[in-house]
Amino acid sequence: MKKPPLRTAALAGAVTLGLLLAGCSGSGSDSGAGSGGRTTVTFWGWAPGYADAVKAFNRTHTDLRIDYQQVQPGAKGGYQKTLNAVQAGNAPCLAQLGYETLPSFAAQGALQDVAEYADAGKGDFFDASWKSVSVGDAVYGVPVDTGPMALFYNKKVFDSLGLKPPATWAEYKADAKRIHAADPHKYISSPYLDYDYAGLAWQNGAHWFGVDGDSWKVSLASGPNRQVADYWQDLVRTGAISNAPMYDQAWYKGLGDGSIATVVGAVWQAGVIKGGAKDGAGQWAVAPMPRWSAGDERTGNAGGSATAVLKGCKSPKAAVKFAHWLSTDRTAYGILVDKAGLYPAAEKLTDLPQLSATDPYFGGQKIYDVFAKAAPKVDADWTWGPVMTKTAADLDDGLGKAWAGNGTIADALRTAQDKTVAELKHQGLKVSG
- The pLDDT, as a whole number, for residue 38 is 87
- pTM (predicted TM-score): 0.91
Inform me whether the pLDDT recorded for 6 exceeds 80: no
Rounded to whole angstroms, the Cα distance separating 238 from 218 reads 31
Rounded to whole angstroms, the Cα distance separating 340 from 334 reads 10
Rounded to whole angstroms, the Cα distance separating 155 from 49 reads 33
Inform me whether the pLDDT recorded for 311 exceeds 80: yes
- The pLDDT, as a whole number, for residue 32 is 55
- The pLDDT, as a whole number, for residue 294 is 87
Inform me whether the pLDDT recorded for 1 exceeds 70: no
DSSP 3-state of 36: helix
Average pLDDT (4-33) is 39
The string over 205-224, giving b where at least 16 C-beta atoms fall within 10 Å of a residue's C-beta and e elsewhere, is bbbbbbbeeebbbbbbbbee
- Number of Cβ within 10 Å of residue 226's Cβ equals 17
* Among the listed residues 113, 107, 189, 156, the one whose alpha carbon sits nearest the alpha carbon of residue 429: 107
Inform me whether the pLDDT recorded for 91 exceeds 60: yes
Look at the alpha carbons of 221, 225, 227, 231 in this order and tell me if their dihedral is positive or negative. Answer: negative
* Among the listed residues 342, 274, 273, the one whose alpha carbon sits nearest the alpha carbon of residue 46: 342
Exposure of 153 by Cβ count < 10 A (0-12 exposed, 13-18 middle, 19+ buried)?
buried
Inform me whether the pLDDT recorded for 16 exceeds 50: no
* Among the listed residues 37, 128, 12, 41, the one whose alpha carbon sits nearest the alpha carbon of residue 307: 41
- The pLDDT, as a whole number, for residue 173 is 98
Rounded to whole angstroms, the Cα distance separating 243 from 377 reads 31
- The pLDDT, as a whole number, for residue 36 is 56
**Angle at Cα 132 formed by Cα 126 and Cα 134, nearest 5°?**
110
Rounded to whole angstroms, the Cα distance separating 285 from 423 reads 42
- Are 228 and 219 within 8 A, CB to CB? no
Residue 80's pLDDT band, with cuts at 50, 70 and 90, is very high
- The pLDDT, as a whole number, for residue 27 is 39
Please report the domains of the chain, with CATH numbers, ordered by start residue: 17-147+303-376 (3.40.190.10), 149-300+383-432 (3.40.190.10)
Inform me whether the pLDDT recorded for 92 exceeds 70: yes
Average pLDDT (93-122) is 97
**Average pLDDT along the chain:** 92
pLDDT (tens digit per residue) in 358-376: 999 999 999 999 999 999 9
Residue 231's pLDDT band, with cuts at 50, 70 and 90, is very high
* Among the listed residues 397, 379, 413, 351, the one whose alpha carbon sits nearest the alpha carbon of residue 128: 379
- Are 384 and 298 within 8 A, CB to CB? no
Which stretch of 43-57, 82-96, 204-218 has the lowest confidence by average pLDDT?
204-218
pLDDT (tens digit per residue) in 316-326: 999 999 999 99
Average pLDDT (56-74) is 97
What 3 state SS string does 89-118 have?
Answer: CCCCCEEEEECCCHHHHHHCCCEECCHHHH
- The pLDDT, as a whole number, for residue 30 is 54
Inform me whether the pLDDT recorded for 5 exceeds 70: no
Average pLDDT (89-105) is 97
Average pLDDT (124-148) is 96
Average pLDDT (97-112) is 96
Rounded to whole angstroms, the Cα distance separating 314 from 321 reads 14
